[in-house]
Amino acid sequence: MSTNINRQLYEACRDGNLTEVKRLVAAGADVNVVGDFYTALSKSSVRGQVEIVRFLLDSGADVDQTDGGYSLCSFSSKINHFLKLCSYTALYFAARNGRTSVVDLLAFTGVTVNQTCARFVEQASFFSQMVIIIFVCSWTPLIVAVCYNRADCIETFVVFGADIDAVDVRQATALCRAVRNQRIEAVRLLLSLNADTTKVDRRGRTALQIAETDEIKQIFLEHDKLTVTTKI
């Protein structure tokens, strides 16, 4: 019976049915239920269902809970184990999908803004064939927002304590990722928020040295001029 009601809660969150969510929680459903890969909170965050997210949090949902991790039965058992280490929070999904209102709500609730997606990435680094997943799993929510071109989430993360110079498994900061992916708005915003331009990635390159377009190089030039003028 409990399993059934929990599944119903997950489906109500998926469908955006706040009335049913409230009814099921009142009936004893687990607000931290994990459904098809997502937690109830993550599924609501993915879809930008602010009121359901708010209700789940008010009802005791764990804001930092991670999902069950990927499970791909066609892979070997060792790789499948690695994938399960790549677990994501509601904040990751909100940032990836540009759900700014949900990001704001989760931040106000006290979510861990520097939590990466994987709990044990360093133990799985020998899976060279899984290199892309390792990169993604080492991203903080700020880097996620940059890589998915969600510039409107960036300032919220920084205001609520995100480490603007945190690095991923390749020692790349959010600024380096913004430059590499040619996220113009993100580059401007990160520079305005005092991202460290001297940080180097695993290959010893600064964000400016990674830049391939004249437009991005010009942004750095303008930032340098502004910084010098401000100091004077």
Task: Count structural domains, the chain.
Answer: 2
Are 56 and 33 contacting, i.e. CB atoms less than 8 angstroms apart? no
Q: What is the pTM of this model?
A: 0.81
Indicate if 155 and 195 belong to the same structural domain. Answer: no
Amino acid type, 200: V
What is the DSSP code (8-state) at residue 154? H
Angle between helices 214-231 and 184-192 (to 10 degrees): 10
Confidence of residue 31 (pLDDT cuts 50, 70, 90): very high
Query: What CA–CA distances, in Å, run from 12 to 20, 22, 94, 209?
Result: 6, 9, 18, 49
Residue with tokens 């996620």: 144
Indicate if 122 and 160 belong to the same structural domain. Answer: yes
pLDDT tens, position by position, 116-146: 865 444 444 444 444 444 445 678 999 999 9
Residue with tokens 């789940």: 56
Indicate if 186 and 119 belong to the same structural domain. Answer: no
Average pLDDT, the chain: 84
State the Cα–Cα distance between residues 189 and 195, nearest whole angstrom: 9
Indicate if 152 and 174 belong to the same structural domain. Answer: no
Indicate if 38 and 26 belong to the same structural domain. Answer: yes
Domain extent for 191? 170-232
Indicate if 112 and 226 belong to the same structural domain. Answer: no
Indicate if 229 and 140 belong to the same structural domain. Answer: no
Count of CB atoms situated within 10 Å of the CB of 227: 13
- Mean pLDDT across 11-28: 97
Are 111 and 89 contacting, i.e. CB atoms less than 8 angstroms apart? yes
Which of these ranges, 5-14, 44-53, 181-190, 217-226, has the smallest mean pLDDT? 217-226
Indicate if 160 and 205 belong to the same structural domain. Answer: no
Indicate if 159 and 190 belong to the same structural domain. Answer: no
Read off the CATH number of the domain in which 207 is found. Answer: 1.25.40.20
Indicate if 83 and 109 belong to the same structural domain. Answer: yes
pLDDT tens, position by position, 169-192: 889 999 999 999 999 999 999 999
Query: What CA–CA distances, in Å, run from 183 to 1, 52, 211?
Result: 49, 31, 11
